[in-house]
Structure 1
Amino acid sequence: MAGHSKWANIKHKKKKEDKRRGKLFSKLSRKIAVAAREGGGDPEMNADLRMAIQKAKDNNMPNDNIERAIKRGTGNLEGMTYESFVYEGYGPAGVALYLDIMTDNRNRTASEVRHILDKNGGNLGSNGCVSWMFQRKGELIIDLNEFEVGEEELLLEALEAGAEDLDYGEDEAVVYTDPSNYESARENLEESGYEFKSADLAMIPDNTVSLDKSDAKKMLRLMEQLEDHDDIQDIYSNFEISEELITEIEAEEN
């Protein structure tokens, strides 16, 4: 169970859906507003805004919320002014952490993120300390319980759609694309009838760090607290936890 793509499978079991959705909508609104401010309010002319809107729609965010976020970004509605940047650091067992941040107060956010890391066996690092361990890719996750398709067939369809690679697992398949081909590959696969559990640009680790039970518990606790922080848009990491260990930890907590 690798750090980024599988974190969603863990966290939904640990949070109430209404609380999670409210926080998610807030983060998506920020993403849309920043994209609109930096590239204009027309999604046809602004790829970042177009993808932010698509991500909001993927998560069933109402159109009224999307429109308000765009207007805040373009200055047609009053609201907070957010800046976006990246924090890099480490978690338990030297796990790499790459955090996409959007905040209206950089100093406050730095202090709060540093506190979360410090109390959970991690630390904030300098710019570039872990980014070299990741590659930005398009990531399209298909639920194999919803779509019965073999690995070879899906790989051929993905490559024809413009993807680069496929990670085929027991319950889900992850299609990877070059960032420049992400939107077209997604559209081509949707035209072939596929829907996605998750679809976005992501930072994919070149290698992973396998965690034992003690470090896995610490890492999951850290991920929950980072996820809860309003200013952290996305968390990318290179930890790996086996399915068996996840099940064991969940049994102990319930």
Structure 2
Amino acid sequence: MGRAFEYRKAAKMKRWGNMSRVFPRLGRAIMMAAKEGGGDPESNAKLRTAILNAKAENMPKDNIDAAIKRALGKDAQTLSEITYEGKGPHGSLFFVECATDNNTRTVANIKSAFKKSGAEMLNNGSLDFMFSRKAVFEFAKTPDMDIEALELELIDAGLEEIEEEEGVVLVYADYTNFGSLSAAFDSLGITLTKATLERIANTPLSFSEEQMVDIEKVIEKIEDDDDVQAVYTNIA
């Protein structure tokens, strides 16, 4: 699972290409969190996580502070989270997460993106059984860290799987255990470098390089839309 996560992250960053596309997406996540639970990250766990993830992508503090300020202003934009599902070439599947202030515009844009790239939009709920929503945490392994002992410590908090590769530790759990695991990391004094909710395919598929060219076209077309926050696939 870890390598698949890293593949998705690397592919996403390659497609985003530059900070002009990354930072607005991170900013919207911060804005939604601040509007929902207030602008103090100490008392707003969702905002604290959004800031953590923004810092992991080197988003400047000024940008983070500006996003929080925009969310709390009297003319603050109201954003809602919405998901779309679709299927594409070679048995590929897509789960799209958006943050939008205009659902009508976003659904039209996503539907068009699917159609223009040779894919089709499905009814919401069609892929619920094909993807599992997981909490994913990432942090650096310290010299004195015992991974087996840590695994035992985190099981009661909901840990399902833990992996360590090249000094980076990845922890996976059901999304409902995001809060309990976050609290466990805090109590253990572990500094996270990433904390996200991922939709991971239950039956991932392997595709040839030629097939991947077609699939990447679909993903790129969808991610061209400014309202898109994340695209998940069944790529192995």
Kept in 1: contact 2:71–2:77 (CA 8 A): no
List per-residue Cα deviations over 1:182-233 (Å, max 9, x = no partner).
31354467x46x764x431212222212223332111122223333321111
C-alpha distance in 1 between matches for 2:142 and 2:210 = 36
Q: 1:132: which partner in 2?
A: 129
Q: 1:245: which partner in 2?
A: none
Q: 1:68: which partner in 2?
A: 66
Alignment of 1:66-215 (within 5 A): 66-76=64-74, 78-141=75-138, 154-161=147-154, 162=157, 163-167=159-163, 174-177=170-173, 178-187=177-186, 191=189, 196=193, 198-215=194-211
Report the Cα offset of residue 130 of structure 1: 0.9
C-alpha distance in 1 between matches for 2:34 and 2:14 = 33
Kept in 1: contact 2:114–2:221 (CA 8 A): no
What is the TM-score normalised by the length of structure 2?
0.80
Report the Cα offset of residue 181 of structure 1: 2.7
Q: 2:215: which partner in 1?
A: 219
Runs (5+) with no aligned partner, structure 1: 241-254
* Equivalent position amino acid for 1:176 in 2: Y
Kept in 1: contact 2:34–2:47 (CA 8 A): yes
Kept in 2: contact 1:4–1:235 (CA 8 A): no
C-alpha distance in 1 between matches for 2:4 and 2:121 = 18
What is the TM-score normalised by the length of structure 1?
0.75
What is the alpha-carbon root mean square deviation over aligned residues?
3.1
Report the Cα offset of residue 102 of structure 1: 0.8
Cα 1:44–1:170 change in 2 (3 A) is closer
Partner-residue secondary structure (3-state), 2:226: coil
Partner-residue secondary structure (3-state), 1:210: coil
Kept in 2: contact 1:158–1:185 (CA 8 A): no
Cα 1:37–1:131 change in 2 (3 A) is same
* Equivalent position amino acid for 1:24 in 2: V
Q: 1:8: which partner in 2?
A: 9
Report the Cα offset of residue 52 of structure 1: 1.3
C-alpha distance in 2 between matches for 1:12 and 1:148 = 29
Runs (5+) with no aligned partner, structure 2: none
Partner-residue secondary structure (3-state), 1:209: coil
